[in-house]
Amino acid sequence: MHLIHAGSVRRSTGDVRSLSRRYARGELVRVRKGIYASKEEWISLPPWERYRQTVLAVDLELPQSTFCLHTAAVVWDLNLLEVPGFVHLSGASRGHVGRCVPTTSAARRYSGEIGLERIPSYGVRRHPGPTAAVRHKNLLVTPLPETVVGVIARENFAAGVVLADHAMSRRRASGPYLGREELLRQASLLTSEARRRWVTQVLDFAGTDAESPGESLSRAQIHVLGFPAPLLQAKVHVGGVLIARTDFLWPRHRLIGEFDGDAKYLRDEYLGVQTARQAVLAEKKREDKLRAAGFRVVRWDWATAADPARFEACLRQAGLANTPGNTGSTR
């Protein structure tokens, strides 16, 4: 994806009209003031990438801005449950704090539509400063510990656990390793006592065993919904032979839970040398061995884990009893 900076075009060519003409013909989208992109490419982008490109456009429009909170988390490649609603900037003065509506636009067509009606766009939300900043991926962002704690303080329990699990994972590739104690020290600096308690609660629950955001989300929802805590990444042996390593295991209930993300069957790094069909067949044979050994297996996907009512029904149908109303469902 290539963003076109009107100022750069003007300085290099002296042309001040070509971008406006292309915009009027419906070839370009104006992402931010003076920042354009191919309309065809913009529409084809996945939501997360469209958000990242909006962040880059804001950086071109407002150079030397410091990105914070959810936007900084995206730049740090941290796991979030959903695309942020705004591009978050820190360091605003008292009179400039607040939200600005999205500016992404396109020329109106003969039908009266602009072609972006069903595509989310993102405004800017300015937060008071001052704040520290580091450079990451050529952008100014809040430091990693401050970013993680700031987002957890504003999120619900499940979203906070997804982020905390990923931040503390040694498998995370972007940015330095973060330990629980470092994050707790950062949380102690929060001015709100309620937020300090909340972040501490999330960090006390978070761990390093979850191997995907789907597993983190599932574990958090299991806790919030009041189901018994499972063993994570447990190995199942039969006759001294390892037959499976499971996502979730409830030994007393002889129940195994598996989170089925699309990546397991579609992404090369998960498939290895297998085809998607071979992966599905191997998973079926693995499950047949578990059932033959006396285990029941329940599976769920992201949509189920993200919906508390559906997830509760799924686990109850599998034979788990729960006590709803666990603390931690909301802030």
Domain carrying residue 286: 228-317
CA dihedral 297, 300, 305, 307 (to 10 degrees): -110
Q: Is residue 182 part of a domain?
A: no
Residue 110 within any structural domain of the chain: no
Q: What are the φ/ψ torsions at residue 293 (nearest 5 degrees)?
A: -85, 5
Q: What stretches in the chain show pLDDT beneath 70?
A: 95, 262-282, 325-331
Instruction: Give, as one character, the DSSP assignment of residue 258.
Output: E
Is 113 contained in some domain? Answer: no
Is 222 buried (19+), middle (13-18) or exposed (0-12) by CB count in 10 A? buried
pLDDT of res. 265: 37
pLDDT at 291: 84
**The model's pTM:** 0.87
In a domain, 241, yes or no: yes
Task: Let me know: does 225 contact 308? Beta carbons within 8 Å.
Answer: yes
Is residue 62 in some structural domain? no
- For residue 308, the model assigns a pLDDT of 95
Domain CATH code at residue 232: 3.40.960.10
Is residue 81 in a domain?
no
Whether residue 156 lies inside any domain: the answer is: no
Residue 217 lies in a domain: no
Give the pLDDT of residue 181. 96
User: Which DSSP symbol is given to 177?
Assistant: -
Q: How many domains does the chain have?
A: 1
pLDDT attached to residue 289: 82
pLDDT attached to residue 285: 72
Mean pLDDT of the chain: 89
Structure-token pair, residue 120: 């989310």
| pLDDT at position 276 | 52
